[in-house]
Amino acid sequence: MDRIYMALLFLMIIPILICMKYARKIKSDVASSIVRCLIFAIITILSNGFFAFSGNETFAYLMEALYLFSFDMVLIYILQYSQQYTRVFNEVSYIRTGSFLLAYLDGISLFANTAFHHVFTLKNVRYVSFQMYHIGTKHIFYHLHYIFAYCLVFCIIASFVTKIMQIPAFYRKKYVPILAVVCVIIVLNLICNISGFPLDLSLPFFVFAAILICYLTLYRSPKELIDKTLSIVVTEMNNMVICFDINNECVYANDRAKELFRNSAVGLSDVSEYAKDWIEEHDIANRDSLEWSDQKTIDDQVHYFDIEYRKLFDQKKEYIGFFLNLIDNTEKHLALEQERYLANHDTLTGLYNKNYFAVRSAEILRDHPDEEWLLLSSNIKDFKLINDLFGMEKGNEALKMEADLLKERCHEGIAYGRIGGDKFAICMPKARFQEQAFIDAIQAMGHAFNNDLYHLHIYIGVYEITDIHEDISIMCDKANLAIKTLNENYARSIAYYNDTILNDTILEKQLVGDFDQALDEKQFCMYLQPQMTPEGRMLGAEALVRWQHPKRGLIFPGDFIEVFEKTGLIYRLDRFIWELAVQKLAQWQQEGHSDLYISVNISTKDFYYMDVYKTITALVEKYRIIPSTLKLEITETAIMSGTAGELERIEQFRKYGFQVEIDDFGSGYSSFNTLKDMDVDVLKIDMGFLRTTKPENLEKSMSIVNMIISLSKTLGLSVVTEGVETKEQVAKLTQMGCGVYQGYYFSKPIPVEEFEERYL
């Protein structure tokens, strides 16, 4: 019998050895704890067998000591394993060190018991027909050994129970079986211990424990666990997963997929309907996998998908169906589209913005290099005025109106956009451009927007593209330059770019750039043109500026005054010339020529940039001149475009003692209105009346001059005729009653020194 029992014990050891071999292959703390535990489990099993059936009492004592000690070690390693496996109390290292220490002390005491019998004594008894050893008297050390062992058991159970309570039911399967088999071992061991049965009936369960521990800890998570995890992942993931069988029928759709199709589809059958389109479109039947992006309208809403298709094969590589993995990118896509739209479009009008207009135009030009192209740019006359007079709202309305006009008329193959403020641009084939159509459209818009205070007018600059690779913004600039040549004229709407315009612009830019230095270095000088009586007596002079340019030589005001007016520099130049004139008057007056006067020009723009009145009176006071010797020439446009306040200013000038002259009288629109609205001292008749080309017109213009002269007499104004070049002109005008002349007949404008030499 004892042989059979021992053979059974050895048989039990085989599975444990196999588990050990397996665990040794795995390099981890848990695995090494398991290996050590299994070594001691084998020792425990064998020592228990040898103890029970040993024939020698000393040997029995040794075996029982070995059995009890190795059982301690089994428990210690199970505890170590359970701490590592459950991660409960894992960090509490003194449990481990403390238990090893106690186990070694216990071991010493147990082995010493062979000699001293202080732990337990043995007695040989007969069970049924077998002679066996079994524990006789139990001393205090024996009980201490068991208390220690049950403490270890308690810790093991505690760590498992704690773990089991902490985790979801789903994971308990990894712990409960191990706890159960440990409990069975403990209970059986306890029963044997209390009953005094010499064989430890818990030992066969060591085998179950070893297998379970190795399987659950080292081999893998239970398949069910993986299946469950995966199915949750698939069901709840954000992608839509739809699986189909070999007949292309949908067999599974996860929650997201159902949610998307739920409102539109009844059950899974309709999902198949959607998928069928894809299957056909992409010829998926003939491929193993494919990825593509697509959009589908589901319940009137467009969805953007990234789609992955993959065929499914079983282990034998037989085709069993396929799945679609859909990522709904709609939100991302729309956000991106919105972002792209905002980056490329003007929010007010919805047209392309400047950058995108350039991009689109460049594309169109590149795609049709053989065609002739135009770039048109538009500008609303005095757009700022709309905003100032009627508010932003109305200004926006005008812009939208123009944008609508463009949308209506520009079709396929034409790029157009709002390139800034009130500027729109069009890039179109020359063959499709009809000037009259544009003029009509401008007029139509003018009518739609007009009111008493403001007349809407649009200017268009046309640039014929010569090099399609030129920067679009440069093309726009060129079209805009053409607009500038229209000079804010209501009668014209369209101007064409040519190279002279560009050269002029470049020249203007250079002049503006040179201005500061020129003023500092006194490159500007005053020329004087005498005003004479018909008999040739000099009464005074007009101060006219000249620019002695270091590189360009003498430049006449016709080449720079307008530029400086546009760029706001004119007031600095005028102030400079006025000072020269006042200085000269002061000098003359000191020299006894107090009757001589100088007329200075005041530009319309001077009133914007400075207090003309203050500036001039300050000069008069600084140089102490007689105010009436300084005459102020103001053009009628300056007077007419001025506000009531400015008209008052002019009145102030007269009160101060200056003589105010209307320059170029008769050249503007409202010459006679000017006279009605304000008092002046002198009319300077515009040179235009003497320059008429057709003889029949000359007659008419002389009658007008005649009328102006008699009118001024009636109003008590003196008259100066400018631009007289011949003796006949002087004679005729004198006959009409004009008393003062300024013109080449008497003298061109000349440098001051020359003037003084000649006339003083």
Question: What residues line the site for ligand C2E (CB under 6 A)?
Answer: 529, 544-545, 556-558, 561, 570, 574, 577, 601, 603, 663-664, 722-725, 742-744, 749
Nearer to ligand C2E, 600 or 675 (CB): 600
Q: Which is nearer to ligand C2E, 47 or 742 (CB)?
A: 742
CA dist 191 and 195 (Å) reads 6
- 558 contact, one of ligand C2E, Ca ion, none, CB 5-8 Å limit per kind: ligand C2E
When the beta carbons of 45 and 639 are compared against ligand C2E, the nearer one is 639
Q: Give the C-alpha separation, 415 to 406, whole Å.
A: 10
In degrees, to the nearest 5, what angle opens at C-alpha 729 toward C-alphas 725 and 735?
150
Please tell me the total number of residues recorded for the chain in this structure.
760
Pairing of strands 538-549, 524-532: antiparallel
Q: Can you spell out the DSSP letters for 662-701? A: EEEETSSS-HHHHHHH---SEEEE-GGGG--SSHHHHHHH
31 contacts 24 by C-beta, under 8 angstroms: yes
To Ca ion, the closest distance from the beta carbon of 581 in angstroms equals 12
- When CB distances are held under 5 to 8 angstroms depending on the partner's kind, the choice from ligand C2E, Ca ion, none that residue 319 binds is none
Closer by beta carbon to Ca ion, 69 or else 597 = 597
User: Measured between alpha carbons, how far is 447 from 441 in angstroms, rounded to an integer?
Assistant: 10
Q: How far is the CB of 664 from ligand C2E (least distance, A)?
A: 6
Shortest distance in whole angstroms from residue 471 CB to ligand C2E: 36
CA distances from 241 to 251, 254, 275, 634 (A): 11, 6, 12, 84
Contacted by 733, from ligand C2E, Ca ion, none: CB < 5 to 8 Å by type: none
Task: Decide whether 487 or 590 has the Cβ nearer to ligand C2E.
Answer: 487
Helix (H) or strand (E) holding 311: strand 301-313
Q: Which of 398, 358, 397, 401 is nearest to 377 (CA)?
A: 358
The residues in 654-673 that bind Ca ion, with binding defined as CB under 5 A, are: 663-664
Could you tell me the smallest distance in angstroms from the CB atom of residue 718 to ligand C2E? 17
* Residue 370: CB minimum distance to ligand C2E, A: 49
Q: Enumerate residues 605-664 that contact Ca ion by CB under 5 A.
A: 633, 663-664
- Distance in angstroms (rounded) separating the CA atoms of residues 287 and 271: 21
Tell me how crowded residue 203 is: count the other CB atoms within 10 A of its CB.
23
What's the burial of 465, exposed, middle or buried (CB within 10 Å: 0-12/13-18/19+)?
Answer: buried
Q: What is the DSSP letter of 214?
A: I
Q: At a CB cut-off of 8 Å and minimum separation 6, what does 392 contact?
A: none
Least CB distance to Ca ion at residue 664 (A): 5
Least distance in angstroms from the C-beta of 544 to Ca ion: 7
Q: Largest Cα–Cα distance in the chain?
A: 172
**Chosen from Ca ion, ligand C2E, none, partner binding at 743 (C-beta under 5 to 8 Å by type):** ligand C2E
Q: Which is nearer to ligand C2E, 464 or 562 (CB)?
A: 562
What distance in Å separates the CA atoms of residue 20 and residue 41, rounded to the nearest whole number?
11
* 556 contact, one of ligand C2E, Ca ion, none, CB 5-8 Å limit per kind: ligand C2E
One residue of 44, 159, 325, 601 binding Ca ion per CB under 5 A? 601
Quote the DSSP letter at residue 35. Answer: H
Nearer to ligand C2E, 355 or 667 (CB): 667
Quote the least distance from Cβ 721 to ligand C2E, whole Å: 10
| Cβ distance to ligand C2E smaller for residue 107 or 530 | 530
Least distance to Ca ion, CB of residue 637, Å? 12
Report d(CA 633, CA 603) in Å as an integer.
Answer: 9
Which CA distances in Å does 122 have to 53, 111, 223, 427, 575?
13, 14, 50, 113, 133
- Select 256 or 684, whichever has its Cβ closest to ligand C2E: 684
Residue (579 or 722) nearer to Ca ion, CB: 722
Partner interacting with residue 72 (select from ligand C2E, Ca ion, none; CB below 5-8 Å by kind): none
CA distance 66 to 106: 11
Transcribe 154-168 into DSSP letters: HHHHHHHHHHHHHS-
* Spatial CB neighbours of 313, under 8 Å, sequence gap ≥ 6: 319, 320
> At 271, which amino acid appears?
V
Per CB under 5 A, the segment of 315-323, 405-413, 489-497, 600-608 that binds Ca ion is: 600-608
Nearer to Ca ion, 509 or 691 (CB): 691
| Span 693-722, contacts to Ca ion by CB under 5 A | 722
Residues with Cβ < 8 Å from 152, sequence gap 6 or more? Answer: 72, 75, 76, 78, 79, 99
CB of 465 to Ca ion, least distance (A): 42
Which strands form 494-496's sheet, in the order they lie side by side?
415-420, 423-429, 373-380, 458-464, 494-496
Residue closer to ligand C2E, measured from CB, 124 or 697: 697
DSSP state, residue 285:
G
Nearest to 87, CA basis, from 177, 167, 148 = 167
| Nearer to ligand C2E (CB atom), residue 328 or residue 661 | 661
Amino acid at 245: D
Backbone φ and ψ for 489, nearest 5 degrees, come out as -95, 130
Closer Cβ to ligand C2E, 21 or 727, answer by number: 727
Smaller CB separation from ligand C2E, 196 or 688: 688
Distance, in Å, from the CA atom of 569 to the CA atom of 696, rounded to the nearest integer, reads 42
372-390 as b/e, with b when 16 or more CB fall inside 10 Å? Answer: ebbbbbbbbbbbeebbeee
What's the min distance (Å) between Cβ of 605 and ligand C2E? 8
Question: Rounded to whole angstroms, how far apart are CA atoms 313 and 321?
Answer: 7
**With binding defined as CB under 5 A, does residue 200 bind Ca ion?**
no
The candidate with the shortest Cα–Cα distance to 414, out of 354, 357, 340, 346, is 357
Judged by CB under 5 A, how many residues of this single chain contact Ca ion?
5
Residue 328: which of ligand C2E, Ca ion, none does it interact with, CB under 5 to 8 A by kind? Answer: none
Query: Of 198 and 666, which has the nearer Cβ to ligand C2E?
Result: 666
- Pairing status of strand 240-244 against strand 250-253: antiparallel
Q: Which does 561 bind (CB under 5 to 8 A by kind): ligand C2E, Ca ion, none?
A: ligand C2E
Nearest approach, Cβ of residue 585 and Ca ion (Å)? 17
The item of Ca ion, ligand C2E, none sharing an interface with residue 540, based on CB under 5 to 8 Å by kind, is: none
Binding residues for Ca ion, rule: CB under 5 A, are 601, 633, 663-664, 722
